[in-house]
Amino acid sequence: MAKSSKLIYVVLILLSIAFLFPIFLVLLNSFKSTLYISTEPFSLLNESNFVELKNYVVGAQKTGIYSAFGYSVFITVFSVAGILLLCSMAAWYITRVKSKFTNFLYYLFIISMVVPFQMVMFTMSKTADALKLTSPVGILVLYWGFGAGLSIFMYSGFVKSVPISLEDAALIDGCNPVTMFFRVVFPVLKPINITIAILNGMWIWNDFLLPYIILGSEYRTLPIAIQYLTGGYGSVDYGHLMAMIIIALIPIVIFYFTCQKYIIEGITSGAVKG
């Protein structure tokens, strides 16, 4: 192994440790009492600070973790499913049908990527309230809209790499455009589908601001429920807080590691095609 390769290998190991250490620290402290977390945050578990699963049980009771978990799963799954379906169809139409209208749509979606959320936050909340979107079902529409910019940009790049001869052959065989899309085009989009699902799934699952503004305390997702562990005057029960953070991390980490092999393939294919 060359010296440069060894150096890169060492640097990557150090970076991995730097990124994983905070997660390990949270996991370690989720089994300690709050007193020892404040005084000895870096100490290993021992007989005096180990509280077994008490932080997880009490934290779950305080936050209503089961209903919050259900809301998070519902919103994330259906938001991602809607983004995959609607954005893939829109990107396919924009890419294949060349006109001033489709060019306008494409650049409109691209522009939406650079608009800060804080700029539209106030008007969006008023509009959502007027349209009765302040529910777990209504917020799906908002996530479909906010997720469309990046998703359509990536889909458009990937669709350009799909041979149009496949679609021509399907038309000759008697497929209409809708059947052709779902039987021919959509299965070919599997790598970019998984990439977009991971990116949007991680964003929606961990999102705090949009559900907090739209849903408030009536329908608490996991980030909102965890936030309510912060008491008055800045008091925080860190043991319960860290235990709930670990519970919130587990599903999205499993999903990410299950599908990670498709990320680079999808991003590369969607980025380099002109």
Q: Give me the residue spans of the domains in the chain.
A: 55-272
Could you tell me the pTM of the whole model?
A: 0.85
pLDDT digits (tens, 9 = 90+) for 102-117: 999 999 999 888 888 8
Mapped onto helix, strand or coil, the DSSP state of residue 176 is coil
B/e letters for 185-220, b = 16+ CB within 10 Å, e = fewer, are bbebbebbbbbbbbbbbbbbbebeebbebbbeeebb
pLDDT digits (tens, 9 = 90+) for 195-240: 899 889 999 999 999 999 998 878 889 999 888 877 655 677 788 8
| CATH architecture type of domain 55-272 | Orthogonal Bundle (1.10)
Q: How far apart are the first and last CA of the chain?
A: 37
